[in-house]
Amino acid sequence: MSLLSRPLVAGNLTGTIYDFEVAGDILPMHDHDETNAHITVVARGSVKASGEGWERVFKSGAVIDFPANQPHEFVALEDKTKIVNIRKETNFQMMTP
C-alpha cells in the first residue's frame, strides 16, 4: 500500500490530504464523532467509498458530506488519486464584510 497523508491547514480550515499512489490503495474503515466530522473532496482521480450497507463511486470534483458516526472507507480506482478531508467546525460563525 502506498497511501500518503499530510495535514491540511489553511487559515481556519483544517483536515488531511490523502494521496493514493496506485489504484487499490485503501483508507481503511473508520468514523468520526461530532468533534472531528469532515467533508471529502475528490481532488483527482476516483474512489469507491463504502460503509455499512452502501457503496458508491465518486470522481474528481465530487464533494461528499459524511454525517458524524457513519463508518466509511475509500479505495482508489485510479493511480495518483487525491482526496482532501476538510474538518467541519461545530462552532463556525460566518463573518460578513
Quote the pLDDT of residue 15.
87
Quote the pLDDT of residue 23.
97
Q: What pTM does this model have?
A: 0.81
User: How many Cβ atoms are within 10 Å of 83's Cβ, its own excluded?
Assistant: 27
What CATH number did the domain enclosing 67 receive?
2.60.120.10
- For residue range 23-44, list pLDDT tens digits in order: 999 999 998 888 888 899 999 9
- In which domain, by residue range, is 31 found? 3-87
Q: Once rounded to an integer, what is the mean pLDDT over residues 51-57? A: 93
Q: Indicate whether 97 belongs to any domain.
A: no
Q: Indicate whether 92 belongs to any domain.
A: no
Question: How far apart are the C-alpha atoms of 97 and 84, rounded to whole Å?
Answer: 28
Can you tell me which residue has the cell 483508507?
A: 27
Quote the pLDDT of residue 34.
83
Q: How many domains does the chain have?
A: 1
Question: How far apart are the C-alpha atoms of 94 and 85, rounded to whole Å?
Answer: 20
Q: What does the chain come to in residues?
A: 97
Q: Which residue type sits at 49?
A: A
Angle at 41 between CA 73 and CA 67, to 5 degrees: 55
The grid coordinates of residue 12 equal 481556519
Residue 14 has pLDDT above 90, yes or no: no
Residue 95 has pLDDT above 60, yes or no: no
